[in-house]
Amino acid sequence: MRTLIALALAASPAWAGDFAGLTPGRSTLEDARAKFGAPISDGPPAVFSGDAFQVRNLRISADPSTGIITLIRMALPEPPQAEDLRAWMGLNRPVVVGSGEFYPAQGVVFT
């Protein structure tokens, strides 16, 4: 079973979590290109190799007018423990949506 993680910019003044030094709402698609190299597909969303970070299907969406990242989405090869993820990302106060969890303050969705 794979675990999908999405880091998104929520309609909240709080910032989402970061991945590999990229933070939705702050970092740009150019920052992602500098970090991961040329995308496998320009998209949208842009698809990058996540091999260096042991993730698959690394997709990064950005606002077309500013280039600011709005969503970082990836699939992990092994599902981590939910408690470990919550602690790592400093998550609290989830909103349960279907079979997933949404953390509005951080803009993080677990599906």
What local confidence, expressed as pLDDT, does residue 29 receive?
A: 96
Q: How many CB atoms lie within 10 A of CB 5?
A: 19
- Could you tell me whether strands 100-103 and 46-48 are parallel, antiparallel, or unpaired per DSSP bridges? unpaired
What local confidence, expressed as pLDDT, does residue 40 receive?
A: 95
Q: What is the mean pLDDT of residues 13-39?
A: 84
Q: How many CB atoms lie within 10 A of CB 18?
A: 15
Q: For residue 96, what are its two tokens?
A: 């349960």
What digits encode the pLDDT tens for the residues 29-86?
Answer: 999 999 999 999 998 999 999 888 888 889 999 999 999 999 888 887 887 787 887 8
Q: Using CA atoms, how far apart are residues 22 and 28, in angstroms rounded to an integer?
A: 8
pTM for the full predicted model: 0.63
